Structure 1
């Protein structure tokens, strides 16, 4: 995870649920300007993540909230990377996108298992 992504994750963990529902990073973004299929897929992935996060009720437990919020964040990363693999052409970015898919899917599985062990 990049420093920007880490900072965003920490900010999301600290934000109360009402703030998440009222202030989404996607608010104000105009899908009409997203003409490439890749950009449309990126935007859909982010919107899906935001919709899932807006409906969350914080447990007020750092571990539970972290896992609950990171799963949709990771899923959006997988979807964006898959879109790049479909539409992108840069070999280095394609390798990075494949790594994102592999690593994030693995972490989603680990978080899902953690949730099951902790009654979530």
Structure 2
């Protein structure tokens, strides 16, 4: 096979290989999430089921009805996204060992809670429930 034909074949097959690999990864899980279908096992760390539950809740809550207003849709979607970040930070605060990660988690909680409050206020100010 010539180098040109080989390069052409690779160029044609690479997107296909990516699609197949990503498709296998992105199979829908029972929670409705398209994240990998990771399940907590009996020997999993206590943080694992907590992360799985927080992730599933965040993704379900982010499925807000879209209004067609990009600003409103963004803010409504970001509130549960930020709430998910707060929940994950609380999980690492409870189960994590690394002081730097725990400090980062506390900073994330403070920042995300302030942003959530701002977004809720913005929605109210703009007549959005």
TM over 0.5: yes
1:68 match: secondary structure = helix
Matched, 1:53 2:65: no
Deviation at 1:27, TM superposition (A): 5.9
What is the alpha-carbon root mean square deviation over aligned residues?
1.8
**Which runs of 4 or more aligned residues in structure 1 lie more than 3 Å from their structure 2 counterparts after TM superposition?**
31-34
More helix by share: 1
Instruction: Confirm or deny: 8 A CA contact 1:26 1:46 kept in the other structure.
Output: no
More off after superposition, 84-93 vs 35-44: 35-44
Aligned residue among 121, 124, 127 for 1:119: 127
**In the alignment, is the contact (CA less than 8 A) between 1:34 and 1:40 conserved in 2?**
no
1:2-54 deviation per Cα after TM superposition (whole angstroms, max 9, x unaligned): xxxxxxxxxxxxxxxxxxxxx73346232337821212111111111112123
Largest Rg, 1 or 2: 2
Q: Please, what TM-score do these two structures have when normalized by structure 1?
A: 0.73
The residue that corresponds to 2:118 in the other structure is 110
Aligned residues: 97
CA displacement at 1:61 relative to structure 2: 1.0
2:103 is the alignment partner of 1:95: yes
Q: Which residue of 1 aligns with 2:40?
A: 31
Q: Secondary structure at the match of 1:58?
A: coil
Give the TM-score, by structure 2 length.
Answer: 0.69
